[in-house]
Amino acid sequence: MRKVKLKLLAAGVVVAAASAVALIAMPASAETAAFTVTNSWGSGYQASVVVSADSKITDWKVELTMPTGTSVINVWNATQAVSGSNYTFTPAGWNATIAAGATTEFGMIVNGTGRPTSCKVNGADCGLTTTPASPVGSSPAASPVPSKPVTVAPTTSSPSPTASVSPSRTTAPTTAPATTAPAASGTPLGVNGLLHVCGVNLCNQYNKAIQLRGMSTHGLQWFANCYTNASLDALANDWNADLLRIAMYVQEGGYETNPAAFTSQVNGLVDSAEARGMYALIDFHTLTPGDPNYNLDRAKTFFAAVSARNAAKKNVIYEIANEPNGVSWAGIKSYAEQVIPVIRANDPDAVIIVGTRGWSSLGVSDGSSSSEIIANPVKATNIMYTFHFYAASHKDNYRDEVTRAASSLPLFVTEFGTVSASGGGAVDTASSTAWLDLLDRLNISYANWTFSDADEGSGALKKGTCASGTFTGTSILTESGALLRSRIRTADNFPTS
């Protein structure tokens, strides 16, 4: 009989003090096995598993049972099947064969603090005992970058919120695409490749400053039928958009209700954007409560999952807190300096965007300014800062602040509307045009709220469009949608030399 060993990826792993190692004793003639936590936080942890064989095998299967209240919400380098509390992991396809004495590794993100209570490796039962793990310092462990992406599954539902510099949001259904393909050479992603921050600019693989122009989804729990293959084809090919912002609400019927489903839905949209040569901005859409520290553990769990799964991709940008409000810059900075290392442990190269005070107004809506950020910046590299505006509500004093801040800070307008701060009302064409002209002049990237048929002035699509399934042309556009499409579809200027 072939003997299979399941053991920890040992080298260079730092383990959080609260974690434990599960030592698995294999039957008499078999080797030992271990399950080890490589990074942990209050509501979850990351674990790494290595499968090794004494003699060549052409397939493998690992079965784990998790305790009540603990679930595996993401996996890479393996395919996962779930039945109640039982999790079965099989090869991703490319890693089925293991040569004699060789290994293959897979990893997972777990929601909850429980460790596996039982294990089987290729059908052989394993006995579990636990011992304390070695203690560590404060920063998360370096974790393996997945060599192949793994797809999991879709979504859920509910209604919506309101806030002073943020729109109120409305209602609708389910499911998101999950296709993956290499970016065509002439697409935004194909031309620019992996992005980074250089000075105050967003720069491409040629170290040239660029501007991305695109659209934001509405809440995935309400408008998932707006994000289909047909709609994303239209966004990429009819609108010529560079960017899809994926707005994943945390509260309001969002992520907290079903972390696994929302994480999977976000990953599917990342793949769909990549296949169409667009960048994907993963938005952890916090709004109510406004202090991002309320969701710190959820943020660590979510970003550990998506950064591990998408680390090998070149199209992913992370937005770690949508619109902080009712919180000081010191509180926002503290949150950022705890979440960024979780992403960096898996994805050291991606651009990360940090929310700002006063609903991401650089503090202006709180009577402050960007000077507090300039005086006390986040201690991290390759980051940008968020600015949001709604054209009918935020005018010259906000534009003046952006102009001042842009000389010192890398800015990204991850959300803006052509209407009032409520998300409704009439389109303010003059103010919207003034804003877009300013962003073009300063080379600041942007995503418009919102590529949806929400029954509000900020919706780009007429009501009923998403149910109809037709997304091309101008007949299905609202006044806001027509204005944005006309701006976004003009030729990009992506320098390569």
The catalytic site residues sit at 323, 415
Pairwise CA distance, residues 170 & 422, whole Å: 12
Strands 20-25 and 124-132: antiparallel
- Residue 189 structure tokens: 């992603």
DSSP string, 307-356: HHHHTT-SSEEEE--S---SS-HHHHHHHHHHHHHHHHHH-SSS-EEE--
DSSP string, 176-245: ------PPPTTSHHHHH-S-EEETTEEE-TTS-EE--EEEE---HHHHGGGSSHHHHHHHHHTS--SEEE
Q: Which helix (H) or strand (E) holds 149?
A: none
User: Is there a contact between 384 and 412 (Cβ–Cβ < 8 Å)?
Assistant: yes
Instruction: Specify the pairing of strand 316-319 against strand 352-354.
Output: parallel
At 266 the three-state DSSP class reads: helix
C-alpha–C-alpha distance, residues 13 and 17, integer Å = 13
Relative to beta strand 118-121, strand 103-111 is unpaired
Contacts of 190 (CB under 8 A, 6+ apart): 183, 184, 277
Token digits for 143? 């974790």
